[in-house]
């Protein structure tokens, strides 16, 4: 099984049988995952911050880092793999957005990322049908091209699907 491993700000999509798209250690970051069952295309972007306006240069070099740029870019990548450009029929799921600093999380980056991702999806006429967001723990997320299953794992918490 080949893995497409995403780091912070990375985006990946595949419709190659046997592949998985995976990202590690989502803390306050949010993984936006798209699946198009008709073609078995899956895609994910690892969003670190809500808005590219805070660092336009970074937005140019790494658009997946920001929700406002990464989500539309992920949809374009899914379209490249044969999905409809209007997003119809694409299943969207979210994971991450934790408050890793606990009650001292002054900037609320996790919550802000979740809201920014949802706002970006809504602007495209899309929305998530499932999510595992918030709380105070890191997540590793794996999407399978073959099954379309999304598995989340966390040390000390086990593994589950959304």
Residue 158: count other Cβ atoms within 10 Å of its Cβ.
8
pLDDT of residue 107: 73
**Burial of 4 by CB count in 10 Å (0-12 exposed, 13-18 middle, 19+ buried)?**
buried
CA distance 77 to 41: 10
The answer regarding whether domain 3-161 maps to CATH 3.40.50.300 reads no
Write down the catalytic residue from 29, 62, 83, 154: 29
pLDDT of residue 103: 60
Q: Report helix, strand or coil for 51.
A: coil
pLDDT of residue 56: 92
Catalytic, 83? Answer: no
* pLDDT 10s digits, 91-122: 999 999 998 765 655 678 999 999 999 999 99
User: Hey, where are the domains in the chain?
Assistant: 3-161
pLDDT of residue 105: 57
pLDDT of residue 102: 59
pLDDT of residue 1: 75
pTM reported for the whole predicted model: 0.94
* Residue numbers in the chain where pLDDT is lower than 50: none
Angle at which helix 67-80 crosses helix 109-123, to 10 degrees, equals: 50
């Amino acid at each position: 099984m080949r893995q497409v491993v995403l780091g912070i700000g990375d985006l990946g999509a595949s419709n190659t049988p046997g592949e998985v798209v995976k990202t590690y250690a989502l803390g306050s970051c949010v993984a936006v995952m798209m699946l198009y069952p008709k073609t078995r295309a899956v895609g994910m972007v690892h969003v670190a911050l809500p808005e590219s306006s805070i660092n336009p240069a970074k937005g140019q070099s790494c658009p997946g880092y920001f929700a406002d740029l990464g989500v539309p870019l992920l949809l374009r990548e899914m379209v490249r793999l044969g999905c409809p450009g209007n997003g119809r029929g694409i299943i969207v799921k979210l994971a991450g957005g934790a408050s890793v600093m606990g009650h001292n999380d002054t900037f609320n980056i996790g919550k802000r990322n979740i809201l920014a991702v949802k706002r970006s999806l809504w602007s495209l006429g899309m929305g998530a049908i499932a999510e595992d967001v918030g709380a105070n723990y890191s997540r590793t997320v794996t999407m399978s091209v073959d099954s379309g299953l999304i598995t989340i794992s966390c040390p000390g918490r086990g593994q589950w699907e959304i």
